[in-house]
Amino acid sequence: MSNFLPNALVKRLNEQEGFDSEAFNKVHEQGDKVTSIRINSLKQNTVSFRNTKPVPWCDKGYYLPDRPVFTLDPLYHAGCYYVQEASSMFVAHILRKVGLEDSAIRALDLCAAPGGKSTLLASYLGRESLLVCNEVIKSRTNVLVDNMVRWGTSNIVVTNSDPSTFSRLPGYFDLVLIDAPCSGSGMFRKAQETVDEWSLANVKLCSERQRRILRESISTLVRDGYLIYSTCSYSKEENEDILDWILTEYGFESVPIALDSNWGIEETRSTSHQAFGYRFYPHKVKGEGFFVAVLRKKEDQPTFSRKKNKFEKNGVPPHVVSEWVAQSSNFTSFMHGDHIHIFPKKYEEDLKWLQQVLYIKQAGTTIGKWTGRELLPSHDLACSVHIKTDLPAQEVTLDAALQFLRKESLNTGDFTGAKAGWCLVRYKKVNLGWVKVLPSRINNYYPKEVRITNL
């Protein structure tokens, strides 16, 4: 047995046929850290790091040879990539295999913060889909909003609602991803504190919580819709047993996902229904512990009344959006307070339905504050992939970019080519945010709440 892994866990894993406990213990004792990123192909198509290796099951994922200080990379703050555990990127492979890549569906990430799987869904489902990212814990919702804003697409709604709330949207989503709160044994190598917190009692508690979350939200799936269920736990009670419970209680079928045998991912089958599950062990794959499975709903699901809403005049001057947003005819606009938002026109009705049920923290993209005479552009607009490309902008050096991200005073010499007025700050052709160029100074409008403070 390992010197620090819980004996009760390792004993249970040893009951699995062919499980190599010696290799499992060794990889944890060595404690090697694996760093991986997934690029935002809407903002960049190449990796800015050297000596990277591709994540085999995710065409946008890359392993880094070491862990850099991401805080000092302006492209990180600009949403050009997300630092994500490689095993979790397997969701991209799932979307491709079930035919949902670049689709036009309604999707829900139910337990979304901090946003790793949400940004992945945003990339792979494409701009024609609608993505709702929910986080029940209020304190974690702001981080989720920040990460989705950096990603830059407007087809996203961030909500802060209990999973039970989604039962009021029966038969609405084509895809629901539930990365369920769990006992965390898959993170033992990455976070030592999870070892100290692990217990069989906590496994049981988490299993009960997972069933509650599923029970209260599962009706939100449409017939033939997909449920992607995942945890970062090795415990059967939180993984295969949950699949058996779903298949016993509800009308679902298990969906197998084709694998490359060289990946080292282990296909498992549940006890009662032989449901397919996929386990990631750190001694077999280059990543942390992870479990994921796909189920498809096969019973009819009555839905809610989708009456057409009457839309009142939104108060947004018609010329404002077109001055700042590319292909503005694809978006509807609305005022929230004195701020103008844009949202995909094809989902205008959907937003009204969601507003009636959920607590919405962010919808679409906030393009700026309307003063009655002019628009004061927002940081969200600077991050957006929908911003017009011919707006005034200044390319800056790394040093100037970091000054900007720290919200420090800026050197007028770095903006000699910029005209007076609003100007985008760009680093390696990617927008970082706004400044206002004045005759004798540069006003830095980078948001105080996301500025670099620890370096």
User: How are beta strands 156-159 and 130-134 bridged, if at all?
Assistant: parallel
Nearest to 378 by CA among 342, 354, 328: 342
363 carries a ligand binding annotation:
no
| 260 assigned to a ligand binding site | no
Task: Locate 325 and state its tokens.
Answer: 């947003």
The answer to whether the annotation marks 114 as part of a ligand binding site is: yes
232 is catalytic: yes
Q: Is 97 annotated as a binding residue?
A: no
| CB atoms inside a 10 Å sphere around CB 436 | 16
**Is 113 annotated for ligand binding?**
yes
Question: Is residue 300 a known part of a binding site?
Answer: no
117 is in an annotated binding site: yes
Q: Does the annotation flag 348 for ligand binding?
A: no
Question: Which residue's entry shows tokens 């010696």?
Answer: 22
Q: Which of 133, 182, 206, 232 is catalytic?
A: 232
Handedness of CA 177, 182, 187, 191 (dihedral sign): positive
Q: Are residues 365 and 382 in contact, defined by beta-carbon separation less than 8 angstroms? A: no
Q: Give bridge partners of residue 369 from the DSSP assignment.
A: 339, 376
Cα separation values, 448 from 78, 109, 151, 256, 379, Å: 15, 28, 19, 47, 11
- Is 256 among the annotated ligand-binding positions? no
Measured between alpha carbons, how far is 277 from 300 in angstroms, rounded to an integer?
A: 25
Strands 61-64 and 339-344: unpaired
Question: Residue 135, annotated ligand binder?
Answer: yes
The 3-state DSSP composition of the chain as helix, strand, coil percent (nearest 5) reads 35, 25, 40
Q: Which residues are known binding-site members? A: 111-117, 135, 162, 179
Active site residues: 232
Q: Which residues are known binding-site members for S-adenosyl-L-methionine? A: 111-117, 135, 162, 179
